[in-house]
Amino acid sequence: MERDLIIPRIQKTLIAVLGHDHFEMRDDLTAPDVEGWDSLTHMSIITGLEKEFDVRFKLREINKLRNMGTLIDLIGSKFV
Amino acid sequence: MERVSATAQNLVLLAGGLFFYGWADLRFLALLTLSAATNYGLGLAIEDTKSEPRRRVWFWFGMVFNFGLLAYFKYFGFFYDSFVDLLNQFGGHSEHLSLKIALPLGISFFTFQVAGYLIDVFNGGIEVCRKPVHFFTYVFHFPKLLSGPVERAQAFLPRLTLVRAFDRALVTDGARQILWGIFAKAVIADNLAPLVDRVHADIPGSGGSTLLLAAPLYLIQLFADFSGYSNMAIGTSKMLGIPLAINFRGPLFVANISEFWRKWHISLTSWMMDYVFTPISFLLRDKGRVGMVIAIFITFLAVGIWHGANWTFMAFGLVQGVYFLPLVLSGKVNVTSRKDRWWQQVPAMLGMFVLMSLTFVLMRATDLSAAWMYMQGIPNASLFETPDIDIWTIFIPLFVFVGMEWYTRGMDHALQTWATERHWFFRWTSYGLLITLILLSMSTQEAGFIYFQF
């Protein structure tokens, strides 16, 4: 799947879970930059993304995430 | 061209760390060195082994080794004695363990750091550390060795590859942080300690109002003690050019439980969140809110037990899980904090302060029945008497401490902006006052740090 198709769907999921859109979808965006994205909400976001894209992540994949760019790449890799 | 290499600087730090630990606890220096060497080797083994099953074997060997060591020293006596109690309930006649196992200083902090390192290497979260000097310097870095912060290898190891140069701004900021830490410890914590100790020594003889006042005093004492220690440790490390993790960020002024744990003993909570909560909630993610509740209970039970082998600590952890229930069940964990003005949050903050004060009685009480007696002692006629605690001798420093912590609650430490935002006269007068108060409070008696026992 193209990155351009992935990004708006991630954005949609984040807004649904966090209840706001005060963030910019940049590759170097990290969780601490986004209000409310902490360890408690992280798992809701992950399950939200799994549902949105109908994919399953592995724990090791989650642990390797560093920023929005790596998240987009991870989701993209599920559709190769 | 650098004249000194990072490795040479690390060697000096390492020598200092070994000397420091040996001085504090010579018996266990060999144990910690052996454990550090084992973890160094295990990291390499996990990284360099190609076969996945073998990697798993090395990893799980590491977990059993680290937590086994911790369990032996910290929990064996407790479980043995509890088992004996259970047998005796059924008519047995066994004796308690007469030989108390000595606890190596800092072993809880040490274990969590090296275990986290192995988990990260195993999960591919960090690159393995191949330089033994760097790895040992990470483990034995003296400011954080005995009582934290729980430093992540991920953040700490890269700093050791850089050459550190004298930085005036960093050194003076570190010095200010240490000054605030000593004030919190020597003036606030050590003067509150006898007041709180006296109440806990005679719970049946203390009236309701006395018990009610001693509870928040203990929360402030514990906060001053541990944040004071943390500020001294972080300030010292900062002066050496190595910033450490932040451990407290205004935890006395929070509007809900989730905010409290994001601000209290941050380095431990974030460890627990990453290595306990995340994997468990990941495994249970299809179970919805039930999965979340289970993960939170296990995580906070682990936070409680981390403090030591006592039913009071387990109860403390369970109670935290209960406090999270309304947030999780109402789905409010996901909702970001409202953008209220600070004064709109004051009622919630006061409520949380009272709740946490009463909860932390569990941390101070010697056992569950003492804690229960404490709670039962509050709601009775003596609640309306004048508390029997001589708070007036410490009132002004206490007011300054809590006021400053409130005023600077979003900052790394209370004196952080002193250099840039305060007039020199005000600045130096305040330093002078703090130092005077510290000198006046310094007693000849030795006052240990509360978190050294954990």
3-state secondary structure B236-302: HHHHCCCCCCCCCCCCCCCCCHHHHHHHCCHHHHHHHHHHHHHHHHHHCHHHCHHHHHHHHHHHHHH
Smallest CA–CA separation between B282 and chain A, in Å?
7
Q: For residues B174 and B45, give the distance between their C-alpha atoms in angstroms, rounded to a whole number.
A: 38
Contact of B332 with chain A, judged by CB distance below 8 Å, is answered with no
Contact of B190 with B441, CB cutoff 8 Å? yes
Digit-by-digit pLDDT tens for chain A (80 residues) are 789 999 999 999 999 988 889 999 999 999 988 988 888 889 889 999 999 999 999 988 888 888 999 999 999 999 88
**Per-residue pLDDT averaged across B73-77, rounded?**
84
pLDDT at position B336 over 70: no
Of B147, B132, B143, the residue nearest B174 (C-alpha): B143
pLDDT at B143: 94
- Is residue B25 classed as helix, strand or coil in its secondary structure? coil
pLDDT at B430: 92
Pick A19's closest partner by Cβ from B120, B124, B335: B335
Q: Taking CB atoms and an 8 Å limit, are B278 and A36 in contact across chains?
A: no
Smallest CA–CA separation between A59 and chain B, in Å?
7
Residue B90 — pLDDT band, cuts 50, 70, 90?
confident
pLDDT at B188: 95
For residues B340 and B429, the model is more confident at B429
Report the mean per-residue pLDDT for chain B. 91
**Per-residue pLDDT averaged across B345-367, rounded?**
95
At B56, give phi and psi (nearest 5°).
-60, -40
Specify the residue for token string 């002066």: B239
Cβ pairs bridging A and B (under 8 Å): 56
pLDDT at B338: 57
- Nearest residue in A to B269, CA atom: A39
Q: For residues B304 and B319, give the distance between their C-alpha atoms in angstroms, rounded to a whole number.
A: 10
pTM: 0.91
Tokens in use for B410?
Answer: 């979003």
pLDDT at B1: 46
Half-sphere exposure of B89 (CA within 13 A, CB side): 6
Contact of B138 with B160, CB cutoff 8 Å? yes
At A44, give phi and psi (nearest 5°).
-65, -40
Interface-testing mutation among B269, B281, B298, with chain A (most A C-beta atoms within 10 A): B281
What does the longest C-alpha to C-alpha distance in chain A come to?
A: 32
- How buried is B201 (Cβ within 10 angstroms: 0-12 exposed, 13-18 middle, 19+ buried)? exposed
Lowest mean pLDDT among B65-79, B315-329, B370-384: B65-79
For A43, B371, B413, the CA distances from A7, given in Å and listed in that order, are: 19, 53, 38
Contact of B243 with B412, CB cutoff 8 Å? no
Q: For residues B137 and B14, give the distance between their C-alpha atoms in angstroms, rounded to a whole number.
A: 5
pLDDT, one tens digit per residue, over B112-133 is: 999 999 999 998 889 999 999 9
Cis, peptide link before residue B149, omega less than 30° from 0? yes
Specify the residue for token string 């960090």: B126
Contact of B336 with chain A, judged by CB distance below 8 Å, is answered with yes
- Provide the percentage of residues in chain B whose pLDDT is more than 70: 95
Q: Taking CB atoms and an 8 Å limit, are B285 and A43 in contact across chains?
A: yes
CA B191 to chain centre: 21
pLDDT at position B81 over 90: no
Name the helix (H) or strand (E) containing A16: helix A3-18
Interface-testing mutation among A17, A21, A35, A39, with chain B (most B C-beta atoms within 10 A): A39
Of B431, B412, B401, B429, the residue nearest B188 (C-alpha): B401
Identify the top-confidence range among B237-241, B343-347, B380-384. B237-241
At A37, give phi and psi (nearest 5°).
-90, 90
Residue B234 — pLDDT band, cuts 50, 70, 90?
very high
pLDDT, one tens digit per residue, over B13-63 is: 999 999 999 998 888 999 999 999 999 999 999 999 999 999 999 999 999
Tokens in use for B403?
Answer: 């006021």
Q: For residues B110 and B148, give the distance between their C-alpha atoms in angstroms, rounded to a whole number.
A: 8
Q: For residues B32 and B18, give the distance between their C-alpha atoms in angstroms, rounded to a whole number.
A: 10
**Per-residue pLDDT averaged across B285-312, rounded?**
92
**Per-residue pLDDT averaged across B238-257, rounded?**
94
pLDDT at B32: 94
Q: For residues A80 and B11, give the distance between their C-alpha atoms in angstroms, rounded to a whole number.
A: 48
Tokens in use for B68?
Answer: 């086994």
pLDDT, one tens digit per residue, over B142-187 is: 999 999 899 999 999 999 999 999 999 999 999 999 999 999 999 9
- Nearest residue in B to A42, CA atom: B278
pLDDT at position B435 over 90: yes
pLDDT at position B359 over 90: yes
